[in-house]
Amino acid sequence: MTAKQILFVALASLCISACGNIRTAADCLISGNEYFAAKDYKHAEMDYREALKREPESSTALNNLGVVLNELGKYEEAASILKQAVERDAKNQIAHYTLARALTELKQYPEAIAQATKAVELGPEELPAHRTLAQACLAGGETDRAIDEFRYLVKVDADDDQAHKGLGQALLQKGDTEAALVELKRACELKPDDKELAKLYAEASTKK
């Protein structure tokens, strides 16, 4: 290989390397979404952070980063990021109910319920919003409201094992053991391999 050829190859390699590093915020979001879909949350987090770095005003980047931080159990940072997302886009339903999930994990129940309620108001047909509200109400002691939300979820999808489980837990919290056992039994039938659920049903049965 001649000196000219060596120089050409070196320059070409540098150009390819440089071009590979030139990614827009949109490119980072797309890549992050692909990682997220594959449940590779660590790489998704990296790409969403890079998207936010390149476009700090992007509510989508904030939202997506908050979602993946929740998945990674980084609830305090998720809540901080998602609060920024809803401030920039008050109609961002996903940001509202994802924030509610983080706040529920942080045991900040009144605010969690408020955020989940807002999410339901923004899109009453969105089941994740209702589920988040139901869980926040259950954790926050608003038992009757939790029951109403879980019953709605069961009505929409009778095979939703998590909704049956949540309804059973809410009914137990209210003291209605017989009704709770019906729901927990149904949940066990739908998900027979769930040992935690089977244990919950067994414990509830001793209270009858």
Q: How far is CA 140 from the centre of its chain?
A: 18
Q: How far is CA 75 from the centre of its chain?
A: 11
The pLDDT value given to residue 3:
44
Distance of alpha carbon 109 from alpha carbon 5, whole angstroms: 67
pTM here is 0.84
Of 136, 129, 138, 60, the closest CA to residue 103 belongs to 136
The predicted-structure confidence for 120-159, as pLDDT tens digits, reads as follows 999 999 999 999 999 999 999 999 999 999 999 999 999 9
**Domain 142-208: CATH superfamily, name plus number:** Tetratricopeptide repeat domain (1.25.40.10)
Of 54, 8, 9, the closest CA to residue 31 belongs to 54
**Residue 2 clears pLDDT 60, i.e. is over it:** no
The predicted-structure confidence for 158-181, as pLDDT tens digits, reads as follows 999 999 999 999 999 999 999 999
What single DSSP character describes residue 123? -
The predicted-structure confidence for 15-31, as pLDDT tens digits, reads as follows 433 334 578 989 999 99
Domain boundaries, the chain: 25-125, 142-208
DSSP of 175-199, one letter per residue? T-HHHHHHHHHHHHHH-TT-HHHHH
Domains 25-125 and 142-208 share a fold: yes
Helix (H, G, I), strand (E, B) or coil at 51: helix
Q: Which CATH architecture has domain 25-125?
A: Alpha Horseshoe (1.25)
Could you tell me if 103 and 111 are in contact, meaning their C-beta atoms sit under 8 angstroms apart? yes
Site of tokens 């509200």: 133
The pLDDT value given to residue 23:
83
Range with lowest mean pLDDT among 17-26, 40-49, 82-91, 132-141: 17-26
Distance of alpha carbon 71 from alpha carbon 151, whole angstroms: 26
